[in-house]
Amino acid sequence: MSGGIDTRVCLAGIELRNPVLGASGTFGYGSEFEAFFDLRRIGGFVAKSLTLEPRWGNPPPRIAEAPSGMLNAISIENIGVAAFLEEKLPRVPDGVAVIASCFGTESAEYAELAARLSSSPRVAGIEINASCPHVKSGGIEFGQDASLLAELVRRVREATRLPLLVKLSPNVTRIADMAMTCEDAGADGISLINAVQAMEVDVETRRPVLSNILGGLSGPAIRPIALRMVWQVSQAVKIPVCGIGGILTADDAVKFLLCGASAVQVGTANYLNPLAALEIAEGIQSYAERHGFARVADLTGALETRSV
């Protein structure tokens, strides 16, 4: 709130110091960033997606570079919900909003995860990962089928009173329909987008570059797609939207806010610059100052669409 600008935003009932969160799968369990900056200077983070039991990911190669982006097929490698609650969560400083991301192959698993995570006062909200593009079952199966998605959101809704976000896949025909489905099923907010399903080939070896063949494309390459989808979803639902997809700079983040996002998640940018989330949060504040906004929250939906 320094400089006279109120940076606070509210995302689906979660009070955030500023609108910048670390995105799930790119921010570890938070502690990995403590050498670089005080986590209390960003809004918070969405932790690496959790499963009921610890889970190993795919064999290497797991990542590859792509034009203005990267491909990954990690496959929800994580320490499991128990270790997260016992070992990781207590290490996060007070005042940092931690949103827990849930992943499973059946809606009952998601519901059990949400229930267990809701027992901790340190979990500020739940994000359903209905969109991981590179696991064989679960995740994207829910995100691409409206009736499965509705059932999943309903089951998790019954299991938790915490603010409930659903992270959507861009790999659908009509993203707004999926968002409305989540809203009707009781979601408090929509996070979008997850990675775009993609692949790449090494012509010398005539092999796919990833062991999983398919992966998820992330980074600036997908940002205009993400922005379009955030705009469409913001027009279609009343619940808040959290914008994700290739945000590298504060200007990128502001675009998502203008298109209707209440907050943003910074993902791939954390890899190349561990201070990215912090610098983006500070940059949004500067933008608000320069453009005469008293509150960062007023940037949400401030897109000027009258014809020039």
Partner 1 sequence: MTSTGRDSRLPSRIDAQVLENRSEGGNNHRLVLSVPDWPGAEPGQFIMLSAGARAAVERSDPLLPRPMAVYRGHAPAAEPAAGRVEVLYRVSGRGTQLISEALPGQRLRVVGPLGRGFPEVESDASAVLVGGGTGVASLYELAARAVARARTTVVLGARTAADLMGRDDFAGLDIDLQITTEDGSSGLRGLVTDALAPLLRRVSRPSSTTVYACGPTPMMRACAELAESHAVRCLVSLENNMACGFGVCLGCAVPARRGGFALVCQSGPVFDSNDVRWQDLP
> Which residue, among 279, 129, 283, 274, has the nearest Cα to 191 in the 3D structure?
129
Which amino acids are annotated catalytic? 132
Quick one: which of 74, 164, 253, 261 contacts partner 1 (CB under 8 A)?
A: 74
Size of the site for partner 1 (CB under 8 A): 36
Bond preceding residue 61 cis, omega within 30 of 0: yes
Q: Are 111 and 102 in contact (CB under 8 A)?
A: no
Residues in 160-219 at the binding interface with partner 1, rule: CB under 8 A: 211, 219
Choose the stretch contacting partner 1; rule: CB under 8 A; options: 72-80, 158-166, 176-184, 190-198.
Answer: 72-80
Quick one: which of 6, 8, 13, 28 contacts partner 1 (CB under 8 A)?
A: 28
Asked if residue 27 binds partner 1 (CB under 8 A), the reply is yes
> Which residue, among 191, 113, 197, 107, has the nearest Cα to 150 in the 3D structure?
107
CB of 60 or CB of 90, closer to partner 1: 60
Question: What's 91-160 look like in SS3?
Answer: HCCCCCEEEEEECCCCHHHHHHHHHHHHCCCCEEEEEEECCCCCCCCCCHHHHCCHHHHHHHHHHHHHHC
| Contact flags string 229-248 toward partner 1, x per CB under 8 A | -------------------x
Phi-psi label, residue 221: left if phi above 0, alpha if psi -120 to 50, beta otherwise = alpha
| Shortest distance in whole angstroms from residue 60 CB to partner 1 | 6
First to last CA, the chain: 34
Asked if residue 275 binds partner 1 (CB under 8 A), the reply is yes
Beta-carbon contacts of residue 31 (< 8 Å; ≥ 6 apart): 88, 91, 92
Bond preceding residue 284 cis, omega within 30 of 0: no
Q: Are strands 69-72 and 97-102 parallel, antiparallel or unpaired?
A: unpaired
Quick one: which of 13, 57, 283, 301 contacts partner 1 (CB under 8 A)?
A: 57
| Contact flags string 76-115 toward partner 1, x per CB under 8 A | -x--------------------------------------
CA 305 from chain centre, in angstroms, equals 27
CB of 6 or CB of 77, closer to partner 1: 77
Asked if residue 65 binds partner 1 (CB under 8 A), the reply is yes
Residues in 244-273 at the binding interface with partner 1, rule: CB under 8 A: 248-249, 268, 270-273
Separation CA 55–CA 226 (nearest Å): 29
Asked if residue 68 binds partner 1 (CB under 8 A), the reply is yes
CB of 186 or CB of 274, closer to partner 1: 274
Q: Which residues are near partner 1 by CB under 8 A?
A: 26-28, 32-33, 35-36, 56-57, 59-65, 67-70, 72, 74, 77, 211, 219-221, 248-249, 268, 270-275
